[in-house]
Amino acid sequence: MNRTARAFWLSSPGEGEIREVALPDPAEGEVLVRSLYSGVSRGTETLVFRGGVPESQYAAMRAPFQEGDFPGPVKYGYLNVGVVEEGPDALVGRTVFCLYPHQTRYVVPVSAVTPVPDSVPAERAVLAGTVETAVNALWDAAPLVGDRIAVVGGGMVGCSVAALLARFPGVRVQLVDADRARAKVAEALGVAFALPGEALGGCDLVVHASATEQGLARSLELLTAEGTVVELSWYGDRRVSLPLGEAFHSRRLVIRSSQVGTVSPARAGRSYADRLALALDLLADPALDALVTGECAFEELPDVLPRLASGEIPALCHRVGYGDHR
């Protein structure tokens, strides 16, 4: 059967377009999925849109179902929720999450889709990939009961981390961001908020996700002696300076990287599928709806993504709706 779908492509840095693409028939062990929603993470995906992926990271930054190569033309994205139209009987009609780009329909292996729990609406399930990043970060960070914790950077990843930390017993959690508007998001997530200059110090743990040099420096300042900064920011092709003089050594501070591409060594017995399934279970909490701050139709993506990348549209997760596309 000759079938087509429509997909969003980055034609060149800063410019996107919707293309018609051939759609194969699903083979045994594959599913045909019709997209309901996809999500744009304003961090990584807009960096890709601007052409900010350094050549040394082209391979590491590939999305699971990416087509084309950086800096473009490339089909990129990893937050997709759809309904299975063809495939094994147990999956047909099920709502599933997949690390797939923005496309109206697609065919992938059965192993690439994860059923969305009945307790999680499809509209919220687009956050699964980012909540999975937060799960991995907290496996790396290993917070303890009673810890004093700051999350510096109130973007999509930082807010996801803060939302999960709000469930830890006895911890003091503060979301720190230069944008006062993030205070409303913090309130919805059940955590305190502070501007950088007003943040509480003496932290055992700081999770840094602002992707700014100033945010990383402030994260180190907020630590108590022998405290740890877990660095989640990805800076693309930008260089950053670290304040490693003064009391950095005498206070025995630690900076650790965390990246979702590898399951945390602290949970080496868990698979990627286990981690994603956990993230979807955690999305049963309606408070996480606060992370979706805008929505557009699929056809609007060529106009909307440049505005997201420039900051004209302020967003955490920007949700894309597919309506009744066939």
- Domains of the chain by start residue, with CATH: 3-127+283-321 (3.90.180.10), 130-267 (3.40.50.720)
Contact 230, 252 (CB under 8 A): no
Q: Is 186 helix (H, G, I), strand (E, B) or coil?
A: helix
Tokens of 3: 């079938």
Low-confidence ranges of the chain (pLDDT < 50): 325-326
Torsion of CA 28, 30, 32, 35, to 10 degrees: 170
Write out pLDDT tens, residues 50-65. 998 989 889 988 999 9
User: Using CA atoms, how far apart are residues 9 and 70, in angstroms rounded to an integer?
Assistant: 12
What is the predicted pLDDT for the residue at 325?
44
